[in-house]
Every structure is written in structure tokens, then in C-alpha cells.
Amino acid sequence: MEIDPNSDRPVFKQIADHFRDLIDRGELAPGAALPSEAQLSRTFGVAGGTARRALEVLRSEGLVVTEHGRGTRVRERGPMLRLASQRLTRANRAAGLGGFAADMRSLGLDYKQEMLHLGEVPAPRRIAERLNIEEGSPVFVRRRRMWGGGEPMQLADSYYPLDLVEGTPITEENAGPGGSYARLEERGHRLASFREELQARMPSEGEKKSLRLLPGVPVVALVRTAIDTGGRAVEVFDSVMSADKHLFQYDFAAD
């Protein structure tokens, strides 16, 4: 690569562009070492500060990590979870699998959920709107952190109207085979449809810590509303996922 002195793109960004392209093409594999600041300075004939800024760009984008004694290396990514529309099928519930368990099993990865909170809470506005109740009305929440392949994959809060979960295993740490949706259907609330809303954003400090995110890695916030055959919203699933560990795949008819 040669620096273009006539480009309106700063030199440090041209250097970052070069290494980003190598990473994207797979010519620099996960774990591969990048040149040091001194080596970059010599190779491209730039000042140390320029080389440093180029590496900072790559770090801010979550492409590389710098560790004491190991230098700067291409970031090694964990398992990629494919979230397909089929994950919520009744067949999975009949087999005793919730959506997350079905996805992780398809990847051959160990999985678990860490329960963070079980109990009644006032419904936040965004949840109340989807459940068609007054803001602040009591709802039951299952708040947990989901793990796959030994890594935290997502934070997940499931909100339910109280009358639907009282006296059911949904209020317990283990909701039983097939998860909460199976319990709702056993109670007569056969699920008819799901509505999912996705938004990409940068994480909060708490989310960074809980999901062990590296600098520059965004999250995807997914809110799913489950609706029964009577048209009632019976659950709102409010989750935050590491964007670099999830691929969203939806199949639907053209009609």
C-alpha cells in the first residue's frame, strides 16, 4: 500500500482502511499480529502519532485488541448465533426447547441462562404500550443473562401480565420444558403471531460490562411481542445482544 498525499482522507485513516480491508478479506485472520507503531511509522514513513491514531481507529471499531506483552492483534470472535424466524416454532416447544436453547443446540454449543431477577415490577412505558396496559401497572418479569459457548450472548427481560403467570412455573427459575411460551399455551393462550422490533445502537456502560463487550462493539436491541389467537399481547421480550455475535435471518412469503 502507498499513501496518497493528494487524498482528502487523512493519512491515519488511509492506513486504517488498508488493515481493515485485509481483515475483511481474511488475509489477516483472527489472532494475527499487526505491526507495532514503530513498524508502521517506518513502513509508511509517518510520525508515531499518525501510526497510533490508525491503530486507535481499528480498536474503536472492535477489529483489533491491544494487550500488554502481545501487541495488537486481530480480534478473535466468539460463536455466531443465527436467529432465524423458525426459532419460535411450536415444534421446538413440543421438543422441550425454548428459542435460545434451540439456536444454541443447532450450533452444538453449551448454553445456560443466569437468572438475575424474578418478580413483580412496574411496567415501563415501552412495555405497557405493547401489553396495552397503563404505565406503572404491575407486571411479572423474568430477567436473565443468556450464555452460549461460555460467553455472555444477550440480556433478556420477559414481561407478562400478572393474571397469566400466577400459579405457573413462569414465576419460577425453571419455567419447564419448552419455556414460558409452552406454559402460556397450556393455560389456553395459543400463540398466533410475534412482532419483532430491532434497533442497533451503542451499549450503555452496564451493558458493556454484562456482555463483556470490547470498545467499538455495538449492540442490537430486540423487542418481541407475543400475541395469542384472541389478539392479546401475552409477553414482551426485551433483549440486548452483542451485534458481532448475532446474525438475524427472516424468511417470509413474497405475498
- pLDDT tens per residue, range 47-94: 999 999 999 998 888 788 888 888 999 987 766 666 666 666 666 666
Q: Count CA atoms within 13 Å of residue 179 on its CB side.
A: 20
Domains 11-74 and 81-249 agree in fold: no
- pLDDT tens per residue, range 155-170: 999 999 999 999 999 9
81-249 is a CATH 1.10.10.10 domain = no
SS3 call for 166: coil
Determine contact, residues 207/155, Cβ cutoff 8 Å.
yes
Q: What is the mean pLDDT of residues 110-117?
A: 89
As a whole-number percent, the residues of the chain with pLDDT over 70 amount to 91
Residue 247 DSSP label: E
| Domain coordinates in residue numbering, the chain | 11-74, 81-249
What's the full length of the chain, in residues? 255
- pLDDT tens per residue, range 189-220: 999 999 999 999 999 999 999 999 887 789 99
> What is this structure's pTM?
0.74
CB neighbours (10 Å) of residue 230? 10
Domain 11-74, CATH: 1.10.10.10
